[in-house]
Amino acid sequence: MVMLAATLSSSPDDSKCVGATIIAREREQAPDEFLQQPFNRWIAFWRMGWEVALQLVPGEDVAVDLALYLTEDVVFHDSAFHFLLTRGGAYQILVCTPTTNPEDPMVLEINWALRRFMPPGERISGQNAPVRARYLVVSRGELLMVVRFTTGANQPTSMFKVFRETKRPKMPDGGDFPVAVYPWEWSEMDTLDGRVLFVGYGCSRSYQADEDKYPGFKPGIYFLDDGVFCEALMVGDANTRPYPCRDNGMWSESEGRIQRCFPPPNSSDYSPPVWLFP
C-alpha cells in the first residue's frame, strides 16, 4: 500500500483529530497484479492510535462511483475533508465530514456529499497545454483549485491557472449543464491578489505577500517535482529507484514565467523534495 496524499483535521494532540488519505494498493482479486491505472485509488480515514484505517465506501445516497474518478488531492476545510475527483472534463468535490467522540477513540462516523461542478471545458484542459497536476488550496476562507500545466509529455511545468469554488447563480435550467444538477462552478481568477501559494498534494498552503513578515516573497506559486504521484506503485526496487527532481521552482505572477529555485539534478535515489510546515 502506498499513501499518495494525506492530511489531518487538526493537531495530532487533539482528541478529535482525524486523518484522511488517498492510497493505492494491490488488487484484491489478483494478488500478483499491481495497480497500473491511476483511477484505482481508495480514500481512507483513521483516528490517532488506530492500527487499521477505515475505507470510504459511498452509499446509495451519494451518486458517485469512485472507481471511475481520479482522486487527486485532499484538504481539510470548513470542518470537512474535501477530495478532488477528476474524470475527463469533470472536476467534482467529495465532501466528507467526520464525527468523533472524544471519550471513545474507536468511534468515527463519516458523512459525505458530492458537489457537482459545471465542466470548465477548455479553460483547464486546453489542447496546447496538457495538465500536469491539480491541487486544492484553502485561501482566505475559500477553496481554490490550482492547475499546473506543461508544454507536453515529460516536459517541465510551463504555467499555472487558479480557480475559485463558487455557486452558480440561480437561473432557469436549460442546456447541457442545468443549475439544478450542477450547482457549482470553477471560476478562473485573473489575479492572485497578493497571494503566495505553496502547492503539494495534501499540504498546499496560502500566505499573503508581506515585505515585513516575508521579505522578498512576491505573489506567485511555489511548486516541487511531484510527478511520480500518478505512477504505479513503488515496489521491489523502490529504495534504489531514481526519482525526477528537476521540476522545482516558482511561477511569478508579475512576470508570467517560471523561475527555477533549486538545483536541477538529473535524478536522485531519494524521493523528490517536500514542504515541511511548522
| pLDDT tens-digit series, residues 30-62 | 444 444 454 568 899 999 889 999 988 766 556
Please answer whether residues 109 and 98 qualify as being in contact, where contact means their C-beta atoms are separated by less than 8 angstroms. Answer: yes
**Is 4 domain-assigned?**
yes
For the ranges 93-102, 111-120, 141-150, 240-249, which has the lowest average pLDDT?
240-249
- Whether 219 is covered by a domain: the verdict is no
In a domain, 88, yes or no: yes
- Dist. CA 137–CA 201, nearest whole Å: 10
CA dist 21 and 69 (Å) reads 16
- Name the residue with higher pLDDT: 54 or 233: 54
* Residue 212 included in any domain: no
How many structural domains compose the chain? 1
Q: Is residue 71 part of a domain?
A: yes
**45 in a domain, yes or no?**
yes
- Is residue 3 a part of any domain in this protein? yes
Kindly report which listed range (65-74, 91-100, 255-264) carries the lowest average pLDDT score.
255-264
% of the chain residues with pLDDT over 90: 41
Which has more confidence, 149 or 171?
Answer: 149
Range of the structural domain that residue 28 is part of: 1-115
- Arithmetic mean of pLDDT over the chain: 82
Flag whether 207 is in a domain.
Answer: no
Is the per-residue pLDDT at 126 higher than 90?
no
Q: Residue 2 — very low, low, confident or very high, per pLDDT cuts 50/70/90?
A: confident
20-34, 51-65, 240-254: least confidently modelled range: 20-34
Q: Does the pLDDT value for residue 205 go beyond 80?
A: yes
